[in-house]
Chain A
Amino acid sequence: MRGTSLFLLSVSVAVLAGNGPALAAWQPQKPIEFVATAGPGGGTDNLARAVQNIVTKHKLTEQPIVVVNKGGGSGAEGYVYGKASAGDPYKVIFGTSNAWQQPLVSKVAFNYTDLTPIAAMAQDEFLLWVKQDAPYKTAGDYLKAAASGSFKMGGAQSKDTDEVLTRMIEKVGHVKLTYIPFKSGAEAAVQLAGGHIDSHVNNPSESLGQWRGGTQRPLCVFSPKRLPEGPKITATEGWSDVPTCVEQGLDIKQYEQPRTVWLPGKVTPEQAAYYVDLMKKVQATPEWKDYIEKTSQVDTFLTGAEFDQFIKQDLEHVKQVATEQGWLVK
């Protein structure tokens, strides 16, 4: 135990030393508030708390960090709060792609342009899940079955990532699905276990326990290649054994949800640079690797122009789906 912490300490010292000059620019002088745009226990909340733990453990800043949950209105509460705190560099907002997707489809009082983008830190994968005893073994079988009957697809929230993906499946697979929105992915997973819906498109961490417990199984992953090798989840299978959807004839190459970090608007470039740097340091720690592995996410780091580019692309894509579905707000 002591050996580990010594090791961690040396890592953090090395990281600190390597970035000496950048630190001189701006330093926080009072406690920092991490605003999670989700309720306690949700994916975004877990990210904010993981970052808080890492920063505190490695003493990456002298200032204490407090995590505040503002998950009301599918996260809109947190973003509106961020917008209202313009110019305050002591509020860091943790969210997902709904920072730019939500303003498209509902009348919320913010847009992602009201915030200062810091980084996209991790990408959550999506899988197509069905009940354990469902007759279909591949995504192709699923689509064939769905074409005949009236299938119910569950998901978290409405007009959000899960429903966008559902509409994409409909279009690519030439089927019609009834989308039932629930409060969270975990709720959808239980509804699937009870047989009240036919499928859902949860993230790996949302249905991990259910897969191990043999109530449901993934058909395919919406990713260009299979997920990285890891420990076996069930007796015989691990994440890397799940085929990609493209392999199985469901032609959606990639669908991922980035975990995003923002500052309020009107902060100085030095302040933004400080947090970009802080997040980079967080990402270099072994605890971060551990967090990524445990939650089965993909480690990425997009910032600056790359991040902007990513947002623009995703926005185009969602706009297209939203226009087809008639979701755009006037």
Chain B
Amino acid sequence: MGNLAELLHGFTIAVTVPHLVLMAVGVLLGILVGVLPGLGAPNGVSLLLPLTFGMQPVSAIILLSSMYWGALFGGSVTSILFNIPGEPSSVATTFDGYPMARDGRPTTALATAFGSAAFGALIGVILITFLASWVAQVALAFGPPEYFAVYFLAFASFVGMGGAAPIKTVVALAIGFAIAAIGIDTVSGSVRLTMGIDELVKGVNFVVAVMGLFGIGELLVAVEEEFHARAVSSKIDWREVFRAVGRLPRHSVALLRSAAIGCWMGITPGGPTAASFMSYGIARRFSRRGRYFGTGEVEGIISPETADHAAGTSALLPMLSLGIPGSATAAVMMGGLMIWGLNPGPMLFVDQKDFVWGLIASMYVGNIVAVALVLLTVPVFAALMRIPFVVIAPLIVIICVVGAYSVSNSYLDVVMMLGFGIVGYLFKKLFYPLAPLVLAIVIGDKAEDAFRQSMLMSKGSLGIFFANKLVTCLVVAGIALLLLPLVLQLARPFRKSTSPAAETAAQEKVII
């Protein structure tokens, strides 16, 4: 229990008045950059980094990591209220969060999301505290074949289910893969699929695609239906915030399962995005109310949010102990570590005990500060839903345009974003599923790289995917998840294949 003593020592460092103030400042700034699409934690971190050089390294990292928590929480706000996910990992939150908000329950949706996010983060920190050295060992066991197997597992758990027409799902998935392949290929170094547009060598950024597909696409669907948000209760209701959080323990199975998936994907290379998708997919399959998913189910919010934050938190561990940044933010933070004269890597835990344990203790405290602050903001954000549609619609357009532009200061991205908006509208209208498309854009090229690296290593033999216990288990689990729906269908022969009209009706429910 040496770790526990270290942790208590860490708390004495983290829980001081100046550090609590730094946490509050960091969290608030983080919420701001998280809420504004186009800005993200990396912007905030690079803004604050120069300010931190005069500080103690531990104070600096507390400020920066608090901002990271704030940004993670803030990222869910636009997903839920406007269907615009600012980060890949909050895409899955839109599936049920947005329908619930549109149904007149934005307060419940936001409070549920924040509550379960905090739970996920807490489990992630506990994992870091007690299993740090074990986790680092596990992460090292992952080579290219294992990476591929993890991505395969994420796809398998999400694809091959849901109500959409199978051929349309396949088309959407393949389009996502093709978009992910645009730009320079890591393994061969050659330029692919630029369609004669030189600037496309940089590839299609996820944010650009998602702002169009989800943000603009949803706006078009909404305006066509003469969308008016259902009357949100006019007075700010604090009680609903607490009620929503208080109801969370009823979903303890979903919470624990999602946290486990999140931690697992965080320490393996899957990351928060794969974690949230996978957790949503599995919840939809195993929840008793699975077929209502997509219409504003509470567990449809809990599952992706818990997994996202559990993964986001446990992903900081590989950064500290191995020196591989799991995200752009972590990369900037790593740059900061080096400027402060600390080298991330296996020795950090030995050389810089105060720093590491101060940071870990601040993760506990920082997350509590973050969830308290962010819950206070819920009624304010929920009130945004009362702005008339005619006013909010142009503002959403501007947010998407600015967001798409600021990703890489490129006008082409703005035009592409608008194009994705039309595609998003058409796909929604005709029941092509967007989720597999997005998942393929985010992890499609990584999966391809891992597959081709494995093929280089094995000189073309597929046997490498069954070469050791770890990779075999992952691959077999993936195949099982793919086949599971088929088996279930065979087991229930009386359930007749859905008629097209019923199919449409069912999807209509999901897609609204």
Contacts and interface: CB of A to CB of B under 8 A. Distances in A.
A adjacent to B, CB under 8 Å:
yes
Given A46-B338, A68-B409, A77-B201, A193 B322 contact: yes
A124 interface: no
Contacts of B174: none
Interface stretch (A8-16, A179-187, A249-257): A179-187
Nearest to A160: B189
B457 A178 contact: yes
Contacts of B456: 178-180
Interface stretch (B77-85, B274-282, B326-334, B428-436): B326-334
Given A76-B184, A180-B144, A106 B331 contact: no
Nearest to A159: B189
Given A108-B201, A209-B323, A40 B331 contact: yes
B408 A70 contact: yes
B184 A106 contact: yes
Interface stretch (B24-32, B213-221, B308-316, B339-347): B339-347
Interface string A176-205: 001111110011011101111000000001
Interface stretch (B68-76, B135-143, B233-241, B385-393): B135-143
A240 to B, nearest CB: 18
A196 B24 CA distance: 43
Interface stretch (A140-148, A167-175, A210-218, A267-275): A210-218
B141 A194 contact: yes
A158 B184 CA distance: 10
Given A45-B335, A196-B143, A209-B343, A70 B189 contact: no
A107 B183 CA distance: 11
A158 B186 contact: yes
A72 B203 contact: yes
B346 A107 contact: no
A80 B332 contact: no
Given A39-B331, A41-B332, A209-B343, A187 B324 contact: yes
B224 interface: no
A183 B189 CA distance: 11
A209 B345 contact: yes
B129 interface: no
A285 B135 CA distance: 42
Contacts of B142: 194
Contact of B143 (A39, A181, A189, A194): A194
Nearest to A163: B189
Nearest to A179: B456
Given A46-B338, A73-B184, A294-B338, A212 B345 contact: yes
B144 A158 contact: no
A67 interface: yes
B187 A181 contact: yes
Chain A interface residue bracket vs B: 35 or more
A109 interface: yes
A186 B189 contact: no
Given A40-B335, A106-B189, A209-B345, A73 B183 contact: yes
Contact of A80 (B190, B198, B339, B409): B198
Contacts of B459: 150, 178
Contact of B186 (A40, A80, A181, A210): A181
B144 A209 contact: no
Contacts of A160: 189
Interface in B31-68: 42, 46, 50
Contact of B46 (A67, A107, A186): A67
Residue among A41, A77, A84, A159 with most chain B CB within 10 A: A41
A46 B335 contact: yes
Residue among A67, A74, A196 with most chain B CB within 10 A: A196
A181 B335 CA distance: 23
Interface string A39-54: 1111001100100010
A297 to B, nearest CB: 13
B296 interface: no
A157 B323 contact: no
Contacts of A128: none
A294 B341 contact: yes
Given A106-B190, A152-B457, A194-B140, A40 B183 contact: no
A210 B143 contact: no
A184 to B, nearest CB: 8
Contacts of B322: 190, 193
Nearest to A72: B202
Contacts of A183: 186, 449
A68 to B, nearest CB: 6
A74 B202 CA distance: 8
B46 A40 contact: yes
B191 A108 contact: yes
Interface in A81-117: 84, 105-110
B125 to A, nearest CB: 23
B199 interface: yes
Contact of A158 (B50, B187, B335): B187
Contacts of B331: 39-42
B504 interface: no
A49 B335 contact: yes
Residue among B50, B334, B346 with most chain A CB within 10 A: B346
Contact of A70 (B202, B335, B346): B202
Given A45-B335, A73-B201, A157 B345 contact: no
A312 B389 CA distance: 61
Contacts of A219: none
A186 B324 contact: yes
Nearest to B203: A72
B184 A74 contact: yes
B189 A74 contact: yes
A213 B201 contact: no
A194 B242 CA distance: 46
Interface in A284-324: 294-295
B201 A72 contact: yes
Contacts of B202: 70, 72-73, 76-77, 80
Contacts of A74: 184, 189
A77 B183 CA distance: 9
Interface in B433-472: 449, 453, 456-457, 459
Contacts of A158: 185-189
Interface of A: 39-42, 45-46, 49, 53, 56, 67-70, 72-74, 76-77, 80, 84, 105-110, 150, 152, 157-160, 178-183, 186-187, 189-191, 193-196, 205, 208-210, 212-215, 294-295
13 contacts: A40-B335, A72-B408, A73-B183, A76-B201, A106-B184, A106-B191, A108-B184, A150-B459, A158-B187, A190-B323, A193-B322, A205-B338, A210-B345
Q: Which 5 A-B pairs have the closest CB atoms?
A: A209-B345, A213-B346, A72-B202, A41-B331, A196-B143
Given A70-B409, A74-B184, A209-B348, 12 more contacts: A40-B331, A41-B335, A72-B201, A73-B184, A76-B191, A107-B190, A179-B456, A180-B144, A189-B324, A190-B139, A191-B143, A209-B345
